[in-house]
Amino acid sequence: MKYLKAKLFRRVYIIFCIILGILAPVYCWYLRPGFNPMEKPLSDFGIQEPTWLLWNSTLVFLAIGIFLNAYTALRFYFKKRRFRYPLKVLLFVSSFSLFFTATIPMDYELLHRIPAFLFFFTYNLFVFSFGLFRSFQQIRAGILSIFIGLAMTFSLLLLLPFKSYGVFEIVYFALILLWNIHFLFTRMKEEGMKSNKEGFLKFFQ
């Protein structure tokens, strides 16, 4: 019973984080209509009134949410330790990096940029490796993760035409949410099909 309650809480929390990850940037932009991602990074939301608290809190929630979602996916899809261990390392580093990116404002420059760079690099590598390792088990199963991982890498090209990396961050952020939405609901569907419950609640068992 405790396990089922913890599982339910985890899924509700992850869904909350995904919704927050979609709505918070939009609302921050609404509060600061003059913000231009071609000139400033999204981290600018984290140092200006009235968005700093909402933006930084959202990143902290997301750091925990994407960790829980990906860690659960690892346990669900990978039974062999040789696949899970390197993915766990990448996931831990990326999640902690995002947490420190949120808690160390952009004002601190290098102290903010180091965890931000680590997050972008390690999470990109995690998603791509997740897909690659899944392809070793079943070729078609890893295609989406490989595609999203490559899209994350190629989104770096958006740094070339703009003096800020705000546009790159928006695309990267969207790809993160896409990957997490896909694997959360795919896993819920697969587990729900095995459930003896009826109706919508079986997907939260």
pLDDT tens per residue, range 56-103: 999 999 999 999 999 999 988 888 788 889 999 999 999 999 999 999
Q: What is the pLDDT of residues 3-55, one digit of tens each?
A: 667 788 888 999 999 999 999 999 999 999 999 999 999 999 999 999 999 99
What confidence score (pLDDT) does residue 187 get?
81
Pick the closest to residue 146 from 156, 136, 158, 157 (CA basis): 136
What is the domain partition of the chain in residue ranges? 2-182
pLDDT digit string, tens, across residues 101-142: 999 999 998 999 999 999 999 999 999 999 999 988 777 878
Which carries the bigger pLDDT value, residue 204 or residue 77? 77
Q: What is the mean pLDDT of the chain?
A: 89
> Positive or negative, the Cα torsion across 36, 38, 41, 42?
positive
Tokens of 36: 């231009």
161 exposed, middle or buried (CB, 10 Å; 0-12, 13-18, 19+)?
Answer: exposed
Say what the pLDDT of residue 159 is: 87
Q: How far apart are CA 121 and CA 128, in angstroms?
A: 11
Q: How many CB atoms lie within 10 A of CB 9?
A: 12
- Spatial CA neighbour of 78 closest among 120, 141, 18, 10: 141
